[in-house]
Amino acid sequence: MNISVKPASVSSSGSGGASMSILLYLSLAHLFNDTFQSTVVAVYPVIRDSLSLTFGQIGLIAFVYQICASVLQPVAGVLFDRYPKTWYLSAGTLSTMTGLLILAFSQSVASVMLAVVFVGLGSSVIHPEASRLTHFASGGRHGLAQSVFQVGGNFGGSIGPLLAAAIVAPYGQRYLAVFAGIAVISLLTKSPVVKWYRERLRSFRSDTLKKEVIHRVRLSKRKIYFSLFILLVLMFSKHAYSASLSSFYTFYLIEKFGVTTQQSQLFLFAFLFASAVGTFLGGPIGDRVGRKYVIWFSILGTAPFSLLMPHANLLWTCVLSVCIGVVLSSAFSAILVYAQELLPTKLGLVSGLFFGLAFGIAGIAAAILGSVADVRGLEYVYRLCAYMPLLGVVAVFLPHVKPVSRRTGG
């Protein structure tokens, strides 16, 4: 029996606290997942030195990883919408753990690629499913809920490089196996979410919840699809530029300023931590002032900082990267919730599509930018990518929308 689970409108006083606790557990799941993901990116210099790789090969590895983490996300989202199961999150973590173990003992480019396939598949499961469950646990405060969820991922992404600097950089690639052990802890922390979701599914099967509220927007199908197209353009702008920072920022600092690998990872931590702060702010502000304004300010507002950074010294490069992290990262929660409100009955598909595009765009951009860097140098790449946030101007074409509630059921 196929069951389509829809988000509840508000939490009762008895369940509101439970919903917030579930949001925190989902945020923790996101934290663990993105810690593993960012650790893999942060150890690219270690893998490059260990296996004597070129920038082009690093870009190809990043491409394989990002594609595996993106192409299957919309497919997984559709599967989760139509056939909800309580074990999906755990399966994703097991896949990531397998990839980390393979990567720890990889001795060839082929084995590294196999490892990132497993890590990418884990992400392709966890992102759409956890985001979908976040919407269900939101109590109607979708922007806040997504920010709580996203900030876990951003914080996890920021501590990954720190852990890589402390564990992998000084001791070697094989110490990535430590992170596979951390994945076991991640599995245990998913138990409360599994229990909550199992009870929720039983409620729907027993038809004890007679009425559900779906939040819809008053737009024609044509305007909905046009709005989705604009959101995709904005996603391209955001993540094409983000790829230059997340994949090559450490190399850029090493090449231009002569810092050590460990020092470069500290700078990467500062950027990723700033991104976590921006993510947390973006959702609640979008709930209050409107998601369109947050999206517009977040992407277009990054342009002054991105245009200045290629010409800055080391100190100002760090300062500008922190500003970019705060401003640019505030967009994703707003974009995702905006899209979910456009298609409220296809939360898994929307979550998978937008998370998948985020990874896919970043993967393609990483492969292209890696090849360009081999030919023209990383400074040229950063001067080129600095113009990407100017595409944020297209946010002016997004309609102002305010969801209205429509009840379904008996």
Q: How far is CA 82 from CA 3, 22, 323, 336, 349, in A?
A: 6, 22, 41, 20, 10
Q: Is the pTM of this model over 0.85?
A: no
Q: Please indicate, yes or no, if residue 208 is contained in any of the structural domains.
A: no
User: Dihedrals φ, ψ of 399, to 5°?
Assistant: -70, 150
> What CATH number is associated with residue 259?
1.20.1250.20
Q: How far apart are CA 335 and CA 75, in angstroms?
A: 20
150: its two tokens: 């996203």
Q: Which contiguous run of DSSP H or E holds residue 408? A: strand 404-409
pLDDT per residue as tens, the chain (410 positions): 344 444 443 333 334 444 888 999 999 999 999 898 888 877 888 888 888 777 778 878 877 887 787 777 888 888 888 888 889 999 999 999 999 999 988 888 888 989 999 998 998 899 889 988 988 888 777 778 888 888 788 778 778 878 888 888 788 788 888 998 898 899 998 989 999 888 888 776 554 444 444 455 567 788 888 988 899 888 888 888 887 777 788 888 988 898 888 788 788 888 878 887 887 788 788 778 888 888 888 898 999 999 999 999 999 999 999 999 899 888 878 888 888 888 877 777 888 888 777 767 766 777 788 888 888 888 888 888 899 899 888 888 888 766 544 444 43
CA–CA distance from 124 to each of 27, 58, 60, 164, 348 (Å)?
16, 21, 19, 22, 12
Instruction: For residue 279, tell me if it sits in a domain.
Output: yes
How much is the pLDDT for 34?
87
The predicted pLDDT at position 363 comes to 66
CB 98 within 8 A of CB 114: no
- Among candidates 301, 312, 151, which has minimal Cα distance to 241? 301
- Contact yes or no for 31/152 (Cβ under 8 A): yes
Chain mean position to CA 389: 18
List C-alpha distances in Å: 179 to 75, 160, 269.
28, 10, 18
| Residues forming beta bridges with residue 215, ordered by sequence position | 405
Q: What is the pLDDT of residue 315?
A: 92
Determine the pLDDT at residue 47.
Answer: 84
209 inside domain: no
In a domain, 410, yes or no: no
Q: What are the distances in angstroms from CA 246 to CA 157, 221, 279? A: 10, 36, 16
> Do 261 and 254 form a contact (C-beta atoms < 8 A)?
yes
Count of the separate structural domains present in the chain: 1
Residues 6+ away with beta carbon under 8 Å from 48: 57, 58
Domain of residue 221: give its range.
15-201+214-405
- Looking at the DSSP bridge assignments, the partners of residue 214 are 406
* Residue 9 placed within a domain: no
- 69 is a domain residue: yes
Helix (H) or strand (E) holding 223: helix 221-257
Helix axis angle, 221-257 to 261-289, nearest 10°: 160
